[in-house]
Chains A and B, each alone.
Chain A
Amino acid sequence: MITMHGVHTPEFLTGDELHIPIFQLLQQSGSLFPGAEAPQLDQDKARRIYRAMLGTRVLDERMLAAQRQGRLSFYMQCTGEEAAVVGATAALSDSDMIMAQYREQGALLYRGFSYDEFMNQLFGNELDYGKGRQMPVHYGSRKLHYMTISSPLATQIPQAAGYAYGQKLAGEGHCTITFFGEGAASEGDFHAALNMASVHRVPVIFFCRNNGYAISTPASEQFAADGIAPRAFGYRMHAIRVDGNDVLAVYRATQEARRIAVEHNKPVLIEAMTYRLAAHSSSDDPSGYRSRKEEEAWREKDPILRMRLWLNELGWWSEEEEKELQEHLRREVLETMKRAEKRPPPPLDTLVSDVYAEVTPALQRQLDTLKSHLRKYPDAYPKGARSLDPDVGMTQLDQPFDAQGEL
């Protein structure tokens, strides 16, 4: 593979001559750039994308507030990155696999994950698919081909390469997209994944959300080079940098990436330039490491507003529809939240199920010991003790939203 081209003076290259442009289609005014061509996107699909982006924003705002009120232990917002996540997802087949980091709830919403399903996970109740085991925002859906999120950063990136290799062997024309932040791209798993995917010609799209910060660490302290995109060339991989706040550019770039991946069995790297408008998580306060002025500058590039202006320009969206949808979404978020927080926790037996396909004798003994203990101290462990006895139903549960009043 290495081309041997002899020179006779010591020539060092730095790659500085390489400038990767940002692919953009839509201006903040909602008009296309001169000469830019909108992707093939019919009105229904455009509205589906918009609803998912707005739905994500509304969910995030309300759930951060819920966390601040103590109703929820933890939360992470996608604010400012809705176009990157939803735009990319919309360019895929709905049965392509998504392996995300944690700031990609918009992808789930686009595919039809209901607010009830979100809430059940956030509150870890008996209906949560994950059986209340993981922290909030660690969603997963088998039917929507969305791999369950895990906290360790970048671990999903080589997994996505492996998943896509299996898809290639299956020959059904599917691919995998994996989302990750620019901070996660510093992990060794990122390198492992890109190299393996390229060597083994795997239909995978590596989608980097370069939002400027990994918690408090600015991108300037994350890497010295021109972002993430140029790394692809070291692996002989297609790469593109795209305006992550421009839903049309993200959609078009991902559409093309999918074509390269599926038709040619080649991995592709997309670097979406965006900005993490919210705090890293409900446990973070960005005022300690960045300025309001910087945030304001990015707030003016709001990806949702940009798309709305475009839709308005085409006559595909109106102020009335906007108002109606916002009200509808807010009401639904609130109602589903109330439903979810009233539901009981998963039964105690789920503590030991799914560690293995079958509960081992040793684990069964540990569960039995725990049950005897809980019977002895029924008031000390409200969740555990309640789920021991099937006769103790929802009526005896705390109703935290009543106690704390309406939002």
Chain B
Amino acid sequence: MARMNLLQAINNALDIAMAEDDRVLCFGEDVGVFGGVFRATSHLQEKYGRERCFNTPLVEQGIIGFANGLAAQGSVPVAEIQFADYIFPAFDQIVNESAKFRYRSGDLFNVGGLTIRTPYGGGISGGLYHSQSPEAYFAHTPGLKIVVPRNPYQAKGLLLAAIRDPDPVIFFEPKRLYRAAVGEVPEEDYQLPIGEAEVLKEGSDVTVLGWGAQMEVIDRAVELAEKEGISCEVIDLRSILPWDEESVVESVLKTGRLVITHEAPRTGGFAGEIAATIQERCFLYLESPIERVTGLDTPFPLTLEKEYLPDHLKIFEAIKASAAF
């Protein structure tokens, strides 16, 4: 075990993947000698050479197009998009190409080796274009996998799983926690399963569900709720696509109540998908309306960021409202 922050855990995972398999390549804007604007790829070029870890021109559609080609050829590209806010120029390559490559070719070709890493989320005074959480745009795309870790241990295990997964994976990294989240991380190689949620705390009154950076916000809210005698079951979804319906259903059948939270705007956010599925599958067991604690349906603001974010107090109020309904 070693103490690592989230960035170090990611760097460590990339290092292990590159050491193990020559086909693994890391590239993106400023990823080379500089090691990335957040330093996630530090020293990888030094260790593995310019051919395997390199800067690309500043062109997101090119980065992902290039990565799709590499993956189709049999390489294992780990492409970085500097901020999730700038993934949209590559939306076509991801949605029309990466996601559909295997299906449309009848499995003659695939880009299963592809992993796209990108920092997401607010809370760092990033304004409109350094704060977004675009997971729901991609969740509407069959063929993609979407993974969001919440801490260094998860980041390493899930990233190694993503790199080796036979399908293209978008790996959203909570940048607010890059240096803030520190924890014990095994130094050896290990993987955590994609597509499986994790029950972090068992409870009986309300299920509280989130992912990524929102999990530590949930922890604070749950602490307040438990002081008021509300027993919360906390679930980290970990994978947005495919998502672990069974674990959430099982929990809600027990608690009868569900609070879902994400930073992204409410309308069309992934909480809507979860809420619809749970009301279909748990209708007779629900004792209150499913609560969604989310960002507002606005672009992500700078000055009023604290007011905008679904913080622990908003989640706390939702838990209380759910329990008291």
With an 8 A cutoff between CB atoms, is A150 at the interface? Answer: yes
CB proximity of A188 to chain B, nearest CB, Å: 6
In the complex, chain A residues whose CB is within 8 Å of the CB of B67? 162
Give Cα A161 to B69, complex, Å. Answer: 7
In the complex, chain B residues whose CB is within 8 Å of the CB of A362? 242, 245
In the complex, chain A residues whose CB is within 8 Å of the CB of B51? 169
With an 8 A cutoff between CB atoms, is A155 at the interface? Answer: yes
Among A157, A162, A191, point to the contact of B73 (Cβ < 8 A): A162
In the complex, chain A residues whose CB is within 8 Å of the CB of B57? 192, 195-196, 199
With an 8 A cutoff between CB atoms, is B74 at the interface? Answer: yes
With an 8 A cutoff between CB atoms, is A268 at the interface? Answer: no
Give Cα A131 to B102, complex, Å. Answer: 11
Interface centre among B64, B65, B101 (most CB of A within 10 A): B65
With an 8 A cutoff between CB atoms, is B77 at the interface? Answer: yes
With an 8 A cutoff between CB atoms, is A267 at the interface? Answer: no
In the complex, chain B residues whose CB is within 8 Å of the CB of A97? 73
With an 8 A cutoff between CB atoms, is B301 at the interface? Answer: no
CB of B62 within 8 A of CB of A189, answer: yes
Give Cα A148 to B96, complex, Å. Answer: 13
What are the interface flags for A116-140 relative to B under an 8 Å C-beta threshold, 1 for contact and 0 otherwise?
0000000000001111011000101
CB of B107 within 8 A of CB of A158, answer: no
With an 8 A cutoff between CB atoms, is A207 at the interface? Answer: no
List residues 68-107 of chain B with CB under 8 A from any CB of chain A. Answer: 68-75, 77, 89, 92-93, 96-97, 100-107
CB of A128 within 8 A of CB of B106, answer: yes
Among A129, A163, A356, point to the contact of B167 (Cβ < 8 A): A356
With an 8 A cutoff between CB atoms, is B54 at the interface? Answer: yes
With an 8 A cutoff between CB atoms, is B122 at the interface? Answer: no
CB proximity of A204 to chain B, nearest CB, Å: 9
Say yes or no: A133-B112 contact (C-beta < 8 A), given A158-B66, A162-B68, A166-B70.
no
CB proximity of A139 to chain B, nearest CB, Å: 10
With an 8 A cutoff between CB atoms, is B108 at the interface? Answer: yes
With an 8 A cutoff between CB atoms, is A360 at the interface? Answer: yes
Among A161, A167, A360, point to the contact of B242 (Cβ < 8 A): A360
List residues 45-71 of chain B with CB under 8 A from any CB of chain A. Answer: 51-52, 54, 56-57, 59, 61-62, 64-71
In the complex, chain B residues whose CB is within 8 Å of the CB of A403? none
With an 8 A cutoff between CB atoms, is B268 at the interface? Answer: no
CB of B65 within 8 A of CB of A131, answer: no
Give Cα A99 to B101, complex, Å. Answer: 13
With an 8 A cutoff between CB atoms, is B256 at the interface? Answer: no
CB proximity of B273 to chain A, nearest CB, Å: 11
CB of B104 within 8 A of CB of A155, answer: no
Give Cα A163 to B67, complex, Å. Answer: 8
CB proximity of B48 to chain A, nearest CB, Å: 12
Among A152, A163, A354, point to the contact of B103 (Cβ < 8 A): A354
Among B59, B97, B108, point to the contact of A142 (Cβ < 8 A): B108
Say yes or no: A167-B62 contact (C-beta < 8 A), given A140-B109, A155-B97.
no
Q: Which residues of B contact A (CB under 8 A)?
A: 51-52, 54, 56-57, 59, 61-62, 64-75, 77, 89, 92-93, 96-97, 100-110, 112, 142-143, 145, 166-167, 195, 242, 245-246
Can you list 17 contacts pairing A with B, beta carbon distance less than 8 Å? Answer: A128-B106, A138-B104, A140-B108, A159-B68, A161-B62, A161-B66, A162-B66, A165-B66, A165-B70, A166-B69, A169-B75, A191-B62, A192-B66, A196-B59, A355-B102, A356-B143, A360-B242
| A-B pairs, 9 with minimum CB distance | A162-B69, A158-B65, A192-B62, A166-B73, A159-B69, A357-B166, A148-B105, A162-B66, A163-B69
Known: A155-B92, A166-B75. 8 other contacts (CB 8 A): A130-B104, A158-B65, A161-B69, A163-B73, A195-B57, A196-B57, A200-B54, A200-B56
